[in-house]
Structure 1
Amino acid sequence: MPYAFSPDDVAFLASAEGEKAIAACDGLGLTDASWLSDVTSARRLVGDRYAAVLETVLLRRKASSKLDDPASWLLTSEALQQASASPVARHRAARLAGRDVHDVTCSIGADLVELARTAARCVGSDLDPTRLAMARHNAAVAGVSPTVVRADALAPVTRDAVVVADPARRDSSGRRTWKPGDFVPALDELAAAYDGRDLVVKCAPGLDTSIAPWAREVELVSLDGQVRESCLWSGGLATTRRRATVLRTGEAGAGAAQWTITDDEPDDAGVGEPGEWLVDPDGAVVRAGLVRHYGARHGLWQLDERIAYLTGDEPPPGVRAFRVLEFGHYSEKELRAMLRRHDVGRVEILVRGLDVDPNTLRRRLKPSGSGEASVVLTRIGRRPTALLCRAERVPA
């Protein structure tokens, strides 16, 4: 079970003595194999505070893949799991630059810190005193100074600020929930509390957005190929109906929107036979229902109007695309022959639109060649189709 921090723990961990204790334990392995000996060492090094210190060391290590420079942050396990990745939070904050903003579920401050960098004035609030103390500390170490107050998200304490919310998505037993009525605060109660206000709500990417009729724009956001969230924007903030935003790290302008596409763009992609390349659009594009728009932008067409794969003679820049080497009717016998013709021994199998388990199929195929390839199994009309491809990273 994750350690349950108290405000007293936060006060200690934020102090010079606490930072010394954390530094003293930072070199411990903290693996399953070393845990018992690490606990013994931590007790000897820092005394009764060892549990809070060890949990902080562990959480900072985990946070390094999600938050910018979390080496001095204070976190809880649950709050870190739900926190926005820094590039995603930064993108949202950029859309609200220059506005007065109130983060009504600020938790440990992952979104609050980025909002405070761009907002004219910024307020963060939460009911949990421990998380509020962490948010104050994290904002300070990040070099920003939002106003942080204890308040119920459903009891407005600001008037004209844009309201940003990230409802907790776990039920009373701690299990993840997909029912908006079980969110804390519930989605409909949140919308009612801020009726007439500019409202932004971060949700899980799989949410059925039809349950939020107040939302005029739904934005699906991915980071490094993984869809991270859907963001609901009220009428005063919406600029389109559906948007996909694709973010990349480790590139120029890291954390900024590398590109975005909306349903205002043409969607006349068409349908046809496989071209020289096969493209699997980013998940944000697929979930936003913008596959045809993306295809039209890049001169691609669909293999089947109900399948998200696109094809064409030139792939979009900066994507992992599949150069089509051969394609034909799919059966295990014909696919096995296709692999032999191309001397394939290592094979990646991608499936969409067919009831095929890639791992089971790979074991049955037993490819034995010296090369490697990707196999895409899909449906074109009613015809099961196999496409033998070579995956390539297209320059940006």
Structure 2
Amino acid sequence: MGYAFSLDDVAYLRSDAGRAALSSLADLPLTPASRLDDVKLTKQVSPTHFAAVLETLLLRRKASKVLFRDGLFTSEALQQATPHQVAAHRARRFSGPAHDVTCSIGADLGALPEGSIGSDLDPVRLAMARHNLGDGVPLVRADALRPVSRGVPVIADPARRDATGRRTWRPADFAPPLDELADAYAGRDLAVKCAPGVDFAVAPWADEVELVSLDGQVREACLWTRGLATPGVSRRATVLRSDGPEWTITSADPDDCPVGEPDEWLVDPDGAVVRAGLVRHYAARHGLAQLDERIAYLTGPTPPPGVRAFRVVEHGHYSEKTLRSVLRAHDVGRLEILVRGLDVDPNALRPRLKLSGSGEATVALTRVGRRPIYLLAHAERTGKS
């Protein structure tokens, strides 16, 4: 759960004395081995607020690449905070000011168009948001389920931990619960950020569900309603990269793709595409086929640009004995094991394969119909479009 900051802690951290303490201690090792020395030195510099100072230094290091420079955070708020690339992408769908009704420390609010406002029930997080965003952003203490604004779209990011601090996947246990949020803003344009593992069937009021990934990791789902949703689109996958262009695919795109035998390349679509249920749409866009209509592996003569794809060396019926023999024949000693559609644990399988070669490869274990198959391949990063 992390350290429980008080308003007094936040006031100190924002003061000249607090900023000086944080600056003078910024280079502490902050490792398990240095913990006792770190605490001792911090107590000397800031005897009454040493715990708040230490926690802030730790959290700033975790947040350095995704959030405010010299920001204030709580551990739980930082865990739930959106990376700035994802927040900026989401904010572009708002044509004007919006109201972030669960603004927390301000990570999403800071990306919204100028004139947006924030509210939260937690006074400590509001005080941190004021530090992080400056004095120009309107902030108010308010319950997200009791609207205090009119005429602007609403964005919410419900907390997804239960009373014990454990992560919850039940939307009824979110704070505030999903359905209660939808009811509170039934006549307003609403966007709700959720974890990508949520069963979206529990939100029939959402007009569009968008899955967003960043650098290959699915980061969030966003439920869009009314004027914020795209007409004719019920599902969307958006893929963002720190070092390349973003792209999106939707349920309105064509989805006519064949099912065929393994071709020269194997493609494992981005997790946002898979989670959004748009594998066929992605395949149709790039001229690929499915190996099995129920499995998300795709194949074709040319992989999509800018992805990590797998050039197939050989494929066949899968058994451990067969695979062991194939790997030995190809002198494989380092092996990446991908599994989809089979009950195989890669960590348990690896030692049984007795790898001893000098080369490296990837093997995808999957099924076609009821038949288990392996595809031995070499991973390659394809050129950008």
Please confirm whether the aligned pair reaches a TM-score higher than 0.5, indicating the same fold.
yes
Write the letter of the residue equivalent to 1:136.
R
| Equivalent in the alignment of 1:48 | 48
- In structure 2, which of residues 321, 335, 343 is the aligned counterpart of residue 347 of structure 1? 335
* Secondary structure of the corresponding residue to residue 71 of structure 1: coil
* Preserved CA contact (<8 Å) 1:324 1:390: yes
Counterparts of 1:238-257 in structure 2, within 5 Å, are 238-239=229-230, 240-251=233-244
What stretches of structure 2 of length at least 5 have no aligned partner? none
- In structure 2, which of residues 51, 74, 77 is the aligned counterpart of residue 76 of structure 1? 74
* Preserved CA contact (<8 Å) 2:188 2:226: no
Output the CA distance in 2 between the equivalents of 1:230 and 1:5: 29
- Could you report, residue by residue, the CA deviation over 1:336-382 in whole angstroms, capped at 9, with x for unpaired residues? 12112211111111111111111211101111111110011100111
Write the letter of the residue equivalent to 1:112.
L
Counterparts of 1:150-169 in structure 2, within 5 Å, are 150-169=141-160
| Equivalent in the alignment of 1:134 | 128
| Equivalent in the alignment of 1:99 | 96
Deviation at 1:175, TM superposition (A): 1.2
* Preserved CA contact (<8 Å) 2:120 2:144: yes
- In structure 2, which of residues 249, 256, 270 is the aligned counterpart of residue 261 of structure 1? 249
Output the CA distance in 1 between the equivalents of 2:364 and 2:185: 47
Output the CA distance in 2 between the equivalents of 1:14 and 1:317: 47
- In structure 2, which of residues 149, 164, 178 is the aligned counterpart of residue 173 of structure 1? 164
The percentage of aligned residue pairs carrying the same residue is 68
Deviation at 1:65, TM superposition (A): 3.6
Deviation at 1:74, TM superposition (A): 0.4
| Equivalent in the alignment of 2:13 | 13
Q: What is the number of equivalent residue pairs in this alignment? A: 382
* Secondary structure of the corresponding residue to residue 10 of structure 2: helix
Counterparts of 1:194-273 in structure 2, within 5 Å, are 194-239=185-230, 240-251=233-244, 258-273=246-261
Write the letter of the residue equivalent to 1:249.
S
Output the CA distance in 1 between the equivalents of 2:322 and 2:162: 49
Write the letter of the residue equivalent to 2:145.
L
Q: Structure 1 residue 368 and structure 2 residue 356: aligned?
A: yes
- Could you report, residue by residue, the CA deviation over 1:87-115 in whole angstroms, capped at 9, with x for unpaired residues? 1111110111x322000000000000001
Deviates more, 1:127-136 or 1:44-53: 44-53
* Preserved CA contact (<8 Å) 2:331 2:359: yes
| Equivalent in the alignment of 2:269 | 281
| Equivalent in the alignment of 1:85 | 83
* Preserved CA contact (<8 Å) 2:289 2:299: yes
What stretches of structure 1 of length at least 5 have no aligned partner? none
Write the letter of the residue equivalent to 2:118.
G
Deviation at 1:46, TM superposition (A): 2.1
Write the letter of the residue equivalent to 2:5.
F
- Could you report, residue by residue, the CA deviation over 1:273-299 in whole angstroms, capped at 9, with x for unpaired residues? 001000000000000000000000000
Deviates more, 1:328-337 or 1:312-321: 328-337
Deviation at 1:250, TM superposition (A): 3.1
Structure 1 runs of 4+ with >4 Å offset: none
| Equivalent in the alignment of 2:305 | 317
Output the CA distance in 2 between the equivalents of 1:329 and 1:65: 45
Output the CA distance in 2 between the equivalents of 1:195 and 1:6: 35
Output the CA distance in 2 between the equivalents of 1:45 and 1:100: 42
- Could you report, residue by residue, the CA deviation over 1:151-199 in whole angstroms, capped at 9, with x for unpaired residues? 1111111111100000111111111111111111111111111111000
Write the letter of the residue equivalent to 2:239.
V
Deviation at 1:145, TM superposition (A): 2.5
| Equivalent in the alignment of 2:372 | 384
Q: Scaled by the length of structure 2, what TM-score is found?
A: 0.97
Write the letter of the residue equivalent to 1:77.
S
* Secondary structure of the corresponding residue to residue 228 of structure 2: coil
* Preserved CA contact (<8 Å) 1:214 1:235: no
Output the CA distance in 1 between the equivalents of 2:217 and 2:136: 31
Output the CA distance in 2 between the equivalents of 1:210 and 1:358: 31
* Preserved CA contact (<8 Å) 1:100 1:160: no
* Preserved CA contact (<8 Å) 2:99 2:152: yes
Output the CA distance in 2 between the equivalents of 1:359 and 1:133: 46
